[in-house]
């Protein structure tokens, strides 16, 4: 039953696209740079190489990977915490990966008008505003997940995919 749900929602958004939150996009970029860094970098330690491979499989499925300037800025800022010796090479990989993303823009004013702005903050409010009726959201943040569900925005928490052993190797 749960597999049917994931399959149907993925199919619904295959052409429309998937919007990934900052934490998962950071995981993806760090994994593309060096899967071994996932367990060593403090911002991705909670993930595993298998989580990265799951993200890779998911992203390869969709025709469009959607991001926002706010998300990319967060990923960039978090990446600055990499050891200096790794940063230059990482940012080369980051630059390459940015070219395959579909970047959409929502003004901060528009995002600040959403009902849950004071709870979500700017970046997650931008996600809420951009995704409604357009994109599937992939997150690991329970608060964002619950608010999106209540707003009738299609969202998947990666922890649910893990639990269902979705796309397992």
Nearest to 90 by CA among 24, 32, 46, 22: 32
Distances (CA, A) of 59 to 24, 50, 66, 83, 105: 11, 14, 10, 27, 20
Cα–Cα distances (Å) from 70 to 12, 61, 76, in that order, read 26, 24, 10
Distance CA 131, CA 86 (A): 33
Homologous superfamily (CATH) of 2-163 is 5'-nuclease (3.40.50.1010)
Per-residue pLDDT of the chain (169 residues; tens, 9 = 90+): 457 888 899 999 999 999 999 999 999 999 999 999 999 999 999 999 999 999 999 999 999 999 999 999 999 999 999 999 999 999 999 999 999 999 999 999 999 999 899 999 999 999 999 998 899 999 999 999 999 999 999 999 998 888 766 555 4
Residue 1: predicted pLDDT: 47
**Closest listed residue to residue 59, CA positions, set 22, 89, 19, 93:** 19
Instruction: List, in sequence order, the alpha helices (H) in the chain.
Output: 2-13, 22-33, 49-61, 69-79, 84-98, 108-112, 117-120, 122-131, 142-150, 158-163
DSSP 14: T
User: What are the residue ranges spanned by the domains of the chain?
Assistant: 2-163
What is the pTM (predicted TM-score) of this model? Answer: 0.92
């Amino acid at each position: 039953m749960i597999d049917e749900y994931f399959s149907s929602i993925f199919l619904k958004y295959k052409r429309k696209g998937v919007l990934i939150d900052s934490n998962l996009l950071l995981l993806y970029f760090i994994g593309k740079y060096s899967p071994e860094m996932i367990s060593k970098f403090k911002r991705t330690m909670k993930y595993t190489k298998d989580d990265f491979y799951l993200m890779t499989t998911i992203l390869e499925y969709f025709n469009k990977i959607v991001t926002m300037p706010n998300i990319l800025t967060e990923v960039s800022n978090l990446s600055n915490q990499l050891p200096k010796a790794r940063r230059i090479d990482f940012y080369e990989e980051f630059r390459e990966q940015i070219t395959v993303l579909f970047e959409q823009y929502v003004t901060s004013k528009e995002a600040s008008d959403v009902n849950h702005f004071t709870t979500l903050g700017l970046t997650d409010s931008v996600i809420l505003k951009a995704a409604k009726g357009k994109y599937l959201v992939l997150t690991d943040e329970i608060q964002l997940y619950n608010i999106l569900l209540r707003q009738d925005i299609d969202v998947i928490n990666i922890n649910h995919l893990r639990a269902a052993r979705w796309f397992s190797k």
